[in-house]
Copies of this chain bind each other. A is one copy, B any other.
Amino acid sequence: MAVDLSYPDRVVELVAKTEEFIREVVLPVEDAHGGDIAAAGGDAARVELQKAAKDAGVFAPHVSVEYGGHGLGMVDRAPVFEAAGYSLFGPTALNIAAPDEGNMHMLAHIATDEQKQQFLAPLAAGDTRSGFAMTEPAPGAGADPNALRTRAEKVSGGWKINGHKHFITGADGAGFFIIMARTSGEPGQRGGATMFLAPADTPGLKVGRHIINTLDKSMIGGHCEVFFEDLFVPDSAVLGEVDQGFAYAQVRLGPARMTHVMRWLGAARRGHDIAVGYVAEREGFGSRLGDLGMIQKMIADNEIDIAATRALLVQACWALDGGSYAANETSIAKTFAAEAIFRIVDRSVQMCGGLGVSEDLPLARLSREVRPFRVYDDGPSEVHRWAIAKRTVGAARKAAAAKAAQS
């Protein structure tokens, strides 16, 4: 047993193939449509890109071999997902975009065989898409999950769900939803939540308006409102056990955090590469821009942010692969990464000056896309910091009490 940071050959090869696929196949599509997936054809574009990914042998790196994927663990996913994220359309092409990728992860861990057959198999194959219906508008469950208000009541043969969700990524056109609903306790208390599986065409389930014009445009199916009005689901629709929803959310959360980081890191790296390519050639002030100290500072800070994000990713993913929830490691890595990625893109924009804010270069688009990452996806940076600090202070109190008891 010794520290080893080398990836297995098959991962190295998959990374190289993915890089080539993104460069040759996906980036041209993204750039032709300004990074707007709707403009590129929406779901039809997805289907076509995924077919190409299958042909290139890079489809579904995270899915088990049984369901047609490459079966990579978290650590090994990191460089592959980063390579895919280099294009905003890359994750869709490889079928590793949010929320599907996280949903597959959870279904693989919790679902019954029947549920896997019905929901996981087509999702893994790219035959359908899915939604994860957790976030609610105020005063419901936002950054604070305990505020959950969507409620499922036990009725004969199943459950009746009522509630209102929003910011549900990919909802428009999704084939099914994983729904988080309160099954005990009151909003504001912890209580118990349960996850339910429901095909999108179940009566009582309505996808509402897009939260129009969120800053990002690369996610298929938008970020929508979803309503449940006396939505009936049978007992077999319960995912895992009743009242265990908050715990399952943890199962999904850590890995989902990290795959977000992997993908966005790829996007940030593209911004950096464009900026470096630009300043390496463009002249001004009697010098190549890339030889000017203030530009060099931005380049170096980007390199540092990229390296630190990757290094934290490996640490957190390794903990996840070891079976831990890794709540602290993933909070740390996600908080650092979301801010680092924002900085990387922001500096890249700045290095390119006027071109950085124009669609002549893809930087304006990247800048729009990465901003939400500091807010979305299991809570803003502030909530992560709060959780990290609570653990630290709690441990210090415990240690002090133990020491006091000893003496």
Contact = CB atoms under 8 A, between A and B. Distances in A.
Interface in A125-177: 135, 138-139, 142-144, 147, 166-167
A65 interface: no
A288 to B, nearest CB: 8
Interface stretch (A87-95, A111-119, A191-199, A391-399): A391-399
A374 interface: yes
A225 to B, nearest CB: 10
Interface in A310-325: 310-312, 314-315, 318
Nearest to A188: B286
A375 B356 contact: yes
A311 B315 contact: yes
Contact of A375 (B167, B292, B299, B357): B357
Interface in A351-407: 353-354, 356-360, 364, 367-368, 371-372, 374-376, 380-382, 384-386, 388-390, 392-393, 396-397, 400
Given A2-B4, A213-B34, A371-B349, A385 B332 contact: no
Contact of A8 (B1, B7, B333): B1
Interface of A: 1-9, 34, 75-76, 135, 138-139, 142-144, 147, 166-167, 188, 211-216, 223, 273, 276-277, 279-286, 288, 290-297, 299-301, 303-304, 307-308, 310-312, 314-315, 318, 328-329, 332-333, 335-336, 349-350, 353-354, 356-360, 364, 367-368, 371-372, 374-376, 380-382, 384-386, 388-390, 392-393, 396-397, 400
Given A138-B283, A279-B393, A307-B336, 12 more contacts: A3-B7, A5-B315, A143-B284, A213-B359, A213-B364, A215-B368, A293-B294, A293-B295, A296-B393, A308-B311, A350-B381, A357-B371
20 contacts: A1-B9, A2-B75, A2-B76, A3-B5, A3-B318, A4-B4, A135-B354, A143-B285, A215-B367, A273-B396, A277-B396, A281-B400, A285-B386, A290-B396, A293-B297, A295-B389, A300-B389, A307-B329, A307-B333, A357-B371
